[in-house]
Amino acid sequence: MTTTWPAPAATAPVRATVTVPGSKSITNRVLVLAALADGGSLVRGALVSRDTELMAAALRSLGVGVDLSTAVTPGPLRGDVDVDCGLAGTVMRFLPALAALADGDVRMDGDAHARTRPMSTVLGALRTLGVDVSGDALPFTVRGTGSVRGGEVELDASASSQFVSGLLLSGARYDRGLVVRHVGPPVPSRPHLDMTVAMLRAVGVDVDDTVPDVWRVSPGPVGAHEWDVEPDLSNATPFLAAAAVTGGTVTIPGWPSTTTQPGHAIRDVLVRMGCSVSLAGGALTVTGPTRLVGVELDLHDVGELTPTIAALCAVADGPSTLRGIAHLRGHETDRLAALVIELTALGCGARETADGLVVTPAPLTAPARAWSSYADHRMATAGAVLGLVVPGLQVDDVGTTAKTLPGFTSMWARMLA
């Protein structure tokens, strides 16, 4: 779906209960771990979206049995295959370390913009571990030999925590295990690293992360497991934002009381912006205020929430400063530049800083052109949030939301109904 979508405006405060499908981040980690396990793993609640289908298809080509609705059955990893990464960071950064364990060449490529995303860090780390890799960005080839000696590697993961997670997920299957040392500015999206470590431990892998910025994975088996995938809390944020910008109330069932998902942080952000937030009976409920409050936030660990939060800031009662998100310049698109362009087109004041954004609210008007999604699912959903309060706003390529949230426009319509 590449045509423009007329983002519906809210005619009253939004009041709805919205059920959100499973977490993309958890699902794709489950698939990798299950592919490396000693036996079959059961999977419940997995997300079925473009990113997870790409991961499943890649693993099937490597010899793994994958049914996203039920189970994953590992098999000998074979090479001489081509892998389509699409625009999925978890596929392009998690699979090279696993592909090194295959017997034969694994050729990886993806969408046009995926070829611009940073990859040299993880590929260079694999070379240090003795893996034959040609190329430093998509397209590249991992020449697997059926085993990896493992050992210690030093890298700078300040551009993405996925570089560390991708190595750790396969590290237990390396002959000597794996030690990853990060040297450089702080690693972003720390909750995703916590997620990776917790999931490795759940399948019996020995991981020592007691030394800051050092992760030690002991060699050994990866256990079969029964996985229950949590709802994707980051995908829930646009729906909660709908309550925030319209003064309405939205409830998300199945919200975990404890989680490693970065989306959990939206609770505190919404409270700081003036919303009422409650978690009871396994459901999160947000009620929006008469007027949102401008904020100063460090989003370094939860950068993926930035497009939604920036949309909220655009309708707040004063300026907001968002810091710690320079790494978003290397995501699906340069999210900082994209947000400045699109917010400015609506009449909002927006400018980049060295590591973030300053958003200064002003009366918003739909421009003659559509809000551009830049093939970025979170830019598309941010446009939908603003469309609630900017009549006539259109969003281009809203179908890009299928990357992590298929059926988004239908869910949005049901929420408004």
Q: Which residues have a Cβ under 8 Å from the Cβ of 398 and sit 6 or more positions away? A: 1, 5, 373, 380, 383, 384, 408, 409
CB neighbours of residue 111 within 10 Å: 16
- What value, to the nearest 5°, has the Cα angle with vertex 415 and ends 412 and 416? 90
Q: Is 335 a known ligand-binding residue?
A: yes
Dump the DSSP string for 90-117. HHHHHHHHHHTTSEEEEEEE--TGGGGS
Cα–Cα distances in angstroms (integers) from residue 138 to residues 48, 76, 111, 167, 192, in the given order: 24, 25, 9, 17, 23
Which H or E run includes 413?
helix 408-416
Q: Is 89 a known ligand-binding residue?
A: yes
Tokens of 345: 């087109």
Start-to-end CA distance of the chain, whole Å, equals 22
**Predicted pLDDT at 148:** 98
Q: Which residues of 45-58 are buried (b: 16+ CB within 10 A; e: fewer)?
A: bbbebbbbbbbbeb
State the pTM of this model: 0.93
Judge whether 98 and 81 are in contact, CB under 8 Å. Answer: no
C-alpha 197/C-alpha 207 separation (Å) is: 7
Which H or E run includes 50?
helix 50-61
Active site residue 304: yes
**Predicted pLDDT at 407:** 95
Q: Is 352 a known ligand-binding residue?
A: no
Indicate if the alpha-carbon torsion angle 233, 234, 238, 242 is positive or negative. positive
3-state secondary structure of 6: strand
Q: Is 414 a known ligand-binding residue?
A: no
C-alpha 230/C-alpha 258 separation (Å) is: 11
Q: Is 160 a known ligand-binding residue?
A: yes
What is the number of residues in the chain? 417
**Predicted pLDDT at 16:** 98
List 226, 230, 304, 342, catalytic entry: 304
**Predicted pLDDT at 1:** 42
Judge whether 265 and 307 are in contact, CB under 8 Å. Answer: no
Q: Is 29 a known ligand-binding residue?
A: yes
Q: Is 24 a known ligand-binding residue?
A: yes
Is the backbone peptide bond immediately before 185 cis, with ω within 30 degrees of 0? Answer: no
Q: Domains of the chain (ranges plus CATH)?
A: 5-21+231-416 (3.65.10.10), 24-228 (3.65.10.10)
C-alpha 389/C-alpha 399 separation (Å) is: 21
**Predicted pLDDT at 2:** 52
C-alpha 121/C-alpha 106 separation (Å) is: 18
Q: Is 49 a known ligand-binding residue?
A: no
Tokens of 122: 């993880």
C-alpha 110/C-alpha 22 separation (Å) is: 24
Q: Is 281 a known ligand-binding residue?
A: no
C-alpha 141/C-alpha 132 separation (Å) is: 8
3-state secondary structure of 252: strand
Q: How large is the C-alpha radius of gyration of the chain?
A: 21
Can you give the pLDDT of all 417 residues of the chain as single tens digits?
Answer: 457 999 999 999 999 999 999 999 999 999 999 999 999 999 999 999 999 999 999 999 999 999 999 999 999 999 999 999 999 999 999 999 999 999 999 999 999 989 998 999 999 999 999 999 999 999 999 999 999 999 999 999 999 999 999 999 999 999 999 999 999 999 999 999 999 999 999 999 999 999 999 999 999 999 999 999 999 999 999 999 999 999 999 999 999 999 999 999 999 999 999 999 999 999 999 999 999 999 999 999 999 999 999 999 999 999 999 999 999 998 778 999 999 999 999 999 999 999 999 999 999 999 999 999 999 999 999 999 999 999 999 999 999 999 999 999 999 999 999
Q: Is 78 a known ligand-binding residue?
A: no
Dump the DSSP string for 133-168. EE-SSSSEEEEEES----EEEEE--TT-THHHHHHH
**Predicted pLDDT at 121:** 96
Q: Where are the alpha helices (DSSP H) in 172-318?
A: 190-202, 233-246, 266-272, 306-313
Classify residue 161 as exposed, middle or buried by CB count within 10 Å of its CB (0-12, 13-18, 19+): buried
